Amino acid sequence: MFKKKSLFSIIVFCGIQATMAQTAFHNFGDIQIHDQGQIGFHTDLINDGTFDTNLGLAGFYGDQQLNVSGLEIAEFYNAEIDVPNGLNLQTSLGVYNNVDFISGKVFTPRNNIDISLEFLQASYSGETDSEHVDGYAGLFGNIEFTFPLGDANKLRPLSISKPNAITSFKSAYFFEDPNSPTTFASVFDTNSFVPILSKVNDKEFWDLNGDQEVEVTLTWDTDSDIANLTNDIDFLHVVGWNATTLRWESLGKNDVSGDIDNGSITSLSFIPDNYVALTIGTEPTGNEFTINTGFSPNGDGLNDTFEITGLDLSQENKIQIFDRWGSVIYIKDNYDNSWGGIAENDLTIDEGTLVPVGTYYYFIKIKDKITLEYKVYKGWVYINY
């Protein structure tokens, strides 16, 4: 059901289009779908007018690819997509309540983040390897949300926790090597990372944009080749490419589930805008020494320091301790098992104070007394009180 003031302009324009042997539904007036109203687009939608105060249902149907374009964004209450060859967005399209992916993908330009399928606090259903957003999807709101993202015939969602305020996020998935991305001006060198990491995935990455702190959950499947990173998923981290330092940084791990072939990992909280790309990395596994994975510097005389059992104090060595952002909080030559959790700089933690409860990462160089060569050991230690 439409407002009467809009009907005349649509009829006139459609008559012009017919004489030009073109097909498109072109709005340059003011249209509104009322409650229980329904409209089906079997042809392209061009929106150069007002089409953003709608209830009811808008559907896109057809055997051929359909296009949405125009100077203004159309926003619908409910939408369903049944276009096997895809709905191609040349301008953004917004939905308030629910999107039903029946058949086909929604394509958006991967080189233009300003064009996306916008979920305005909306939900969706029907996403599969063949039905998803191939390109950028957006969220406006403050809800937990999983972006129905994919690349070609591969669904690879990304989830965020609830942000503290209503804001906008945009995300896309790229099934391509971060070392040679096709739509970014720079590369994301998987051999450049903070010392607490040992490998970074070179099979895929995500782009997530937003200015509110959130936790992010990434997924993997057999094509992710997690086995090339580690044989133990407990050593995985979410990692982000820092365009300032030009390296991958650990964004931590709040939770990890699944197995080497299929699973998911949730980061610690961070601000997405601080990182250009996200993927999965790993910390090192296995050491020749027994390195304590946890201690409690609470002064009770039990397990108060970070101990490396079997370290010969006559061996030349150097230890560095990092926080989860990759900033050094402790350095010592010829370590003697004496560190009790006190920060020695004030980059992220006040110097001279006990560090907060959490996971920290070590980088140790030890000189072999026989070969005189240095060996490097990396890992993590959890501090509690």
Classify domain 290-383 by CATH number. 2.60.40
Q: What is the dihedral of CA 167, 173, 174, 177, to 10 degrees?
A: 90
| pLDDT (0 to 100) of residue 52 | 92
| Residues 189-199: tens digit of each pLDDT | 999 987 778 89
pTM of structure? 0.74
The Cα–Cα gap between 344 and 333 comes to 14
pLDDT digits (tens, 9 = 90+) for 18-73: 333 348 899 988 989 999 899 999 999 999 999 999 999 999 999 999 999 999 99
Instruction: Name the region of 369 (left: φ>0; alpha: ψ -120 to 50; beta: rest).
Output: alpha
pLDDT band at 288; cut points 50, 70, 90: low
Q: Where are the domains of the chain?
A: 4-282, 290-383
- CA 188-216-168 angle, to 5 degrees, is 90
Start-to-end C-alpha separation, the chain:
65
Single out the residue of 99, 53, 87 nearest to residue 72, CA to CA.
53
